[in-house]
Amino acid sequence: MLRIQEKKGFICDMDGVIYHGNRLLDGAKDFVQWLLDNEKKFLFLTNSSERSPRELQEKLARMGLFVTEDHFYTSALATASFLASQNPNGSAYVIGEAGLVKALYDVGFSMNDVNPDYVVVGETRSYNYNHMEKAVHLVSRGAKLIGTNPDLTGPTEAGIAPACRALIAPIELATYREAYFIGKPNPLMMRQAQKRLGCTADETVIIGDRMDTDIIAGIESEIETVLVLSGVSNETTPNRFPYRPDHILKGVGEIPRGQ
Residue ranges per domain, the chain?
4-47+184-257, 82-181
Write out the catalytic residue numbers: 13, 15
Chain Cα centroid distance, residue 113:
26
* Amino acid sitting at position 226: V
**Under CATH, what is the fold of the domain 82-181?**
Rossmann fold (3.40.50)
3-state secondary structure at position 215: helix
- pTM for this predicted structure: 0.91
Cβ atoms of 234 and 10 within 8 Å: the answer is no
Q: Going residue by residue through the chain (259 aa), what tens digit of pLDDT does each one get?
A: 558 999 999 999 998 999 988 899 999 999 999 999 999 999 999 999 999 999 999 999 999 999 999 999 999 999 999 999 999 999 999 999 999 999 999 999 999 999 999 999 999 999 999 999 999 999 999 999 999 999 998 777 777 789 999 999 999 999 999 999 999 999 999 999 999 999 999 999 999 999 999 999 999 999 999 999 998 899 999 999 999 999 999 999 999 987 5
Domain 4-47+184-257 has CATH 3.40.50.1000: yes
Q: Whole-angstrom Cα distance, residue 207 to residue 251?
A: 10
